[in-house]
Amino acid sequence: MIDHVGFEVSDLATSARFYDALFSRLGIRRVHTGEAAIAYGKHEPRFWIVQRGRTPEPGYGHCAIQAAGRVAVDAAYEAALRHGGRDDGPPGPRPQYGPRYYAAYVLDPDGLRIEVVAGGH
């Protein structure tokens, strides 16, 4: 249903290190690299980070990224924390969203909220 998601970031290189680490644990790779934009996906660009000289505005929502299972959620969470992310909810069951829902929340280097989820659908 979603074609792609784009986040404005303040420092493309810093954000790229964060997203390279997080996405590599989920089987997602960098599919486009440009001077002011980087995109990730399995085959097509679905998640973009763009530096345009504007200040990012955290707190407007979040992007949920699907993981293959709980081990992948845990690995992505740990990788994100090691590469400039901040905890916003450690990995664990989220029964309020469904009986199999397991997720972790991190803030990227600009404070944008990323959810990594398994069992969501």
DSSP 97: G
* pLDDT digits (tens), the chain, 121 positions: 467 898 889 899 999 999 999 999 999 999 999 999 999 999 989 999 999 887 777 666 688 899 999 999 999 999 999 999 999 999 999 998 889 999 999 999 999 889 999 987 6
Burial class of residue 28 (count of CB atoms within 10 Å of its CB; 0-12, 13-18, 19+): buried
- Is 110:56 a contact under the CB 8 Å cutoff? yes
The predicted pLDDT at position 59 comes to: 65
Q: How many domains does the chain have?
A: 1
CATH classification of the domain holding 101: 3.10.180.10
- What's the pLDDT score for residue 1? 45
pLDDT of residue 54: 77
pLDDT of residue 20: 97
Domain that holds residue 41: 5-118
**What number of other Cβ atoms are within 10 A of residue 17's Cβ?**
15
Query: What is the C-alpha to C-alpha distance for residues 49 and 64, in angstroms, rounded to an integer?
Result: 15
pTM of the predicted protein model:
0.80
